[in-house]
Amino acid sequence: MNKVFLLITIVVYFLISNISFSQVELAPPTHPVYDFLKRMQLMNVIHDYNSSSIPISRHQIADYLKTINENKSKLNSIDKNILKDFFVEFEYDVNKTVKNSYGLLNDFNLKEIFNDQKQKYLLQYTDTNSAFFMDANGNISQRNSTGDSLGKHAITLGEVGFRLRGTLYNTVGFYLRVSNGQKIKGDTADINMSIETYPKLKANTKYRYEKKNYDTYEGYLRYATKSEWLALTIGKESQFIGFGYIDKMFMSDNSVPFSFIRLDLKYKALHYYYMYGSLKGDSLGVDISSKNIAAHRLDVNFSNKFRMGFFESLVISQDPFNFNYFNPVSFLRTADYNSGDYGTRNTGNSMLGVDMEVQPLNKFSFQSTLLIDDLDFSTLFNNVRDGHPANDNRFGYQIGGLWTDAFTLPSVTFAIEYTRINPFVYTHRTNKSQYTNWDLPLGHNLPPNSDEIAVKLTSYIYNRLNFKLTYQHQRSANRIILNGDTLIANYGGNIERGDGDVVRDNKFLDGDRVNRDILTFEFSWQPIRQYFLDFKYQYTLSNLLYASKKYKDSYFFLTGRVDF
């Protein structure tokens, strides 16, 4: 008993002794601070920022903000005001003070609710060993659609929730965000439109079947050492992986968060992480008992101008837990092949990836990404095995450029990106281990057997008003031929269906061809700190070349939200 007590004491001492006076909880990956840090990286204001693995801790963000503040003479007036706003929002992370914040339940004062100079919380508490912040948030969103396939619909949604975050003993961070959404006005057809225009609502079973409510949450515990050379995160939060400037190939914002355990190790220019998580999946519409993902990535900052990343993932279905995949230092494809009897194992969907970013000139950067879903050198150049189509080699790739202060306009960022995803990429022939979560792609939003050229313009009119304009031209093809329930042919354009991949020789853009032109306009206005008005409009022209038809669709969201 004494030995056990001694061991526990040593572990607790290790966890709390390295006091670094830092907030180790993460800033959500959709936070606008990441766009600001990226622009500062391109302007050579900060040098070691790597945007290929998000989110990062508030402590790291605070260090970057300090560096930017020390070099603010390089900033234009809009960026200086944006920095000033972030210094208020991240005040405790930067200075360990709360002079520019207000807690409603700490000292109730209705006048402070609309204070434009302070960061407002529902409750705040800090002492030498801990920091705790609680926020309330809510929104009302009006969503309308018109068009040939969407139809004319309108729905009003409301959502309220709260968020808790903080750090204990400067090493253990915690985070919880909970919300409940409600259909205020609309019928079943309007609900279907809301899911079509915002696919993440697919992940709310209550909303899809009860046609009324939806609930969301993220939450985690995170331990990090001083300087964060080691961190362990357990919970549920979004993760963005890859250098993509408009959409990412490895892990993106196209799906909903999933639960995971993640280990991060950092040493100088190296950052390695391993993650094991649980996904929601089905097989041709039928729920499967379990679906998991293991992934790891190594980021290398060779210099301030050149970075590379190496990525591997494996999606495992109908195997609740297996220590073969839980090894943080392994080759996942080999682990899958050696995890059991042939025929009952190696049913996982493995992928490899490599990406790099080069910053040849001030304010410019370029990135390229290669995704390898399957690779067989023996059929790489002839695609034939035993006289039959092999289709063993499946690739996706992306190349893009980013330019800030574009066209000599301050605080304007221009991105251009070409993406190609070959047939059957992200799919799996079992129809169980596809690279999805809740039927939503974990990677790029393009379906397989598609390509896209996209351009995006982002600008701040002033520090509290920004807009985004995105144009995408997509080419896609797909066809599935059935005889009853028997598959005759699959052209590889449906991420949910990977069977039949060796029935015929796959050719890019074979099948029922569709071209899409998509124009999206968004703006976000913050007239008073933490009070927002958001607007999104999207127009889509779909040219169904195989049927000689064209569909025109559009929708808009108008959302008022409060976050404090």
Please give the pLDDT value at position 503: 83
**Whole-number pLDDT of residue 340:** 61
Q: What is the rounded average pLDDT for all residues in the chain?
A: 91
* Residues 74, 67: Cα–Cα separation, whole Å: 12
For residue 181, what pLDDT band results from cuts at 50, 70 and 90?
very high
Quote the tokens at residue 390: 């092999």
Q: What is the pLDDT of residues 365-380, one digit of tens each?
A: 999 999 999 877 666 6
Residue 337 is inside which H or E element, if any? Answer: helix 332-337
How confident is the model at residue 386, as a pLDDT? 67
pLDDT at 327 > cutoff 90: no
Instruction: Judge contact between 540 and 563, C-beta under 8 A.
Output: no
What confidence score (pLDDT) does residue 457 get?
98
Q: What is the DSSP string of 75-129?
A: S-HHHHHHHHHHHHHTHHHHHS--TTEEETTTS--GGGGG-SSSEEESEEEE-SS
pLDDT in tens, 258-293: 999 999 999 999 999 999 999 999 998 899 989 999
Residue 537 predicted with pLDDT over 50: yes
* pTM recorded for the entire structure: 0.92
The predicted pLDDT at position 206 comes to 87
Which pLDDT score is estimated for 11? 44
Q: Could you tell me the end-to-end alpha-carbon distance of the chain, in angstroms, rounded to an integer?
A: 47
Lowest-confidence pick of 22-26, 72-76, 402-406, 507-511: 22-26
Amino acid at the residue 195: I
The answer to whether the beta carbons of residues 293 and 314 sit under 8 Å apart is yes
Number of continuous H segments (helices) and E segments (strands) in the chain? 8, 31
Q: pLDDT digits over 210-224, tens only?
A: 888 999 999 999 999
Backbone angles phi, psi at 263, to 5 degrees: -115, 125
295 neighbors 311 (Cβ within 8 angstroms): yes
Percent of the chain with pLDDT over 70: 93
Q: What is the DSSP string of 504-558?
A: S---TT-SEEEEEEEEEEEEEEEEETTEEEEEEEEEEEEEETTTTEEEEEEEEEE
Q: DSSP letter string over 356-385?
A: EEE--STTEEEEEEEEEEE--GGGTTT-EE
Cα separation, 229 vs 92, in Å, equals 22
Average pLDDT of the residues in 21-29: 86
